Amino acid sequence: MSYAHLSQDERYQIQHLHNGGFSAGEIGAQMQRTATTISRELRCNASDEGKYQARPAHCQSATRRRAASTLARIHPDQWVAVEARLVAEQWSPAQIANEVSISHERIYQHIAADRQRGGKLWRHLRCRKQRRRHRCGTPRQRFRGRRIAERPAIVESRKRVDDWEGDTIVGKGLSRVVTLVDRKSGLLRMRRVPNGEADTVMRAVVHALHPLQTRVHTLTWDNGSEFAEHAVIDIALHAKSFFADPYSSWQRGSNENTNGLVRQYLPKRCDLGAYTDADIQAIEDKINRRPRKRLGFGTPQQVFDASFNRGALRS
């Protein structure tokens, strides 16, 4: 079981049980915590007089955690040695790390922090990239959701008009554009949102797809936090959401390709807040009426509309 810090409610329980004469072991058994956790809490967060009170104890613990996160973990003298090698010898962080026993990643972080403060250490790197993106280790999803491996096989085959992929387009400022693409027909739905918050994006998705609810069975998202309200979307649309693997944009190929088409009208670094809803609708209409080679030069709108006609014939 992974460890979780004591909450304020738990500290009130400790206070009452401790005042009632219960031992650390008895309190731990009552709260499903170890006796060590309870005894450490009573020892570390009691007042100078030795009295334990939940509210001051919780504040004291929070203050200690914040202070610990800002304390320098590496002695300043070591950074002097690092900077000397970097500036005078133009050594790479990996070469410096071998000598000073600091990881090369930590050295890169130090250089990045120096640059944010207006420093010039970054100019001594051989490869002067503006930003380093750390993608080592096992990627983790930010929130719980079905993985793409659980998605029905028929979705991959593109044999039905019912399976959607979703993403957001980012520009300058806070505004974004939510894009939703049907995998088979390529039909596009777009909504402009003032920010990338999960609640805002959820409402835009439901607004865009609710009129087509009978043609929404699955939705495949990337792992952005803007889709954290996927469970609400599922309930509203009677659908199931799935998430692509981290750093695997090809698993949402239809959406990524369509976003490329949208960029013809909404170039990178443009201010999306300057576009009206009518502008976004006009872009959506243009793309949906554009012939596609993979559709036999039919349009996404034609292929999607045909699915309704076939459904009517079957019924």
Q: What is the pLDDT of residues 201-243, one digit of tens each?
A: 999 999 999 999 999 999 999 988 899 999 999 999 999 999 9
Per-residue pLDDT for 311 more than 50?
Answer: no
Sequence ranges of the domains in the chain: 8-70, 76-124, 148-314
Question: What torsion, rounded to 10 degrees, do the Cα atoms 186, 190, 195, 196 define?
Answer: -20
Instruction: Convert the pLDDT of each residue in 146-156 to its tens digit.
Output: 999 999 999 99
Per-residue pLDDT for 142 more than 70?
Answer: no
So what's the pLDDT on residue 95?
Answer: 87
Per-residue pLDDT for 46 more than 70?
Answer: yes
So what's the pLDDT on residue 312?
Answer: 40
Residue pair 126/92 in contact (Cβ under 8 Å)? The answer is yes
So what's the pLDDT on residue 136?
Answer: 46
Mean pLDDT of the chain: 87
So what's the pLDDT on residue 138?
Answer: 45
Per-residue pLDDT for 70 more than 80?
Answer: no
So what's the pLDDT on residue 7?
Answer: 87
Instruction: Convert the pLDDT of each residue in 279-292 to its tens digit.
Output: 999 999 999 999 99
Average pLDDT for residues 139-162, to the nearest whole number? Answer: 83
Per-residue pLDDT for 109 more than 60?
Answer: yes
End-to-end CA distance of the chain: 52
pLDDT confidence of 131, banded at 50, 70, 90?
Answer: low
Distance between CA atoms of 97 and 106, rounded to whole angstroms?
Answer: 9
Per-residue pLDDT for 135 more than 80?
Answer: no
pLDDT confidence of 271, banded at 50, 70, 90?
Answer: very high
Distance between CA atoms of 234 and 144, rounded to whole angstroms?
Answer: 14
Distance between CA atoms of 106 and 98, rounded to whole angstroms?
Answer: 13
So what's the pLDDT on residue 267?
Answer: 92
Question: In CATH, what number does 148-314 get?
Answer: 3.30.420.10
Q: Measuring CA to CA, how many Å separate 9 from each of 32, 37, 47, 197, 268?
A: 14, 15, 19, 29, 48
Average pLDDT for residues 122-133, to the nearest whole number? Answer: 70
So what's the pLDDT on residue 315?
Answer: 34
Average pLDDT for residues 20-38, to the nearest whole number? Answer: 90
Q: Measuring CA to CA, how many Å separate 237 from each of 6, 181, 202, 233, 289?
A: 38, 15, 11, 6, 25
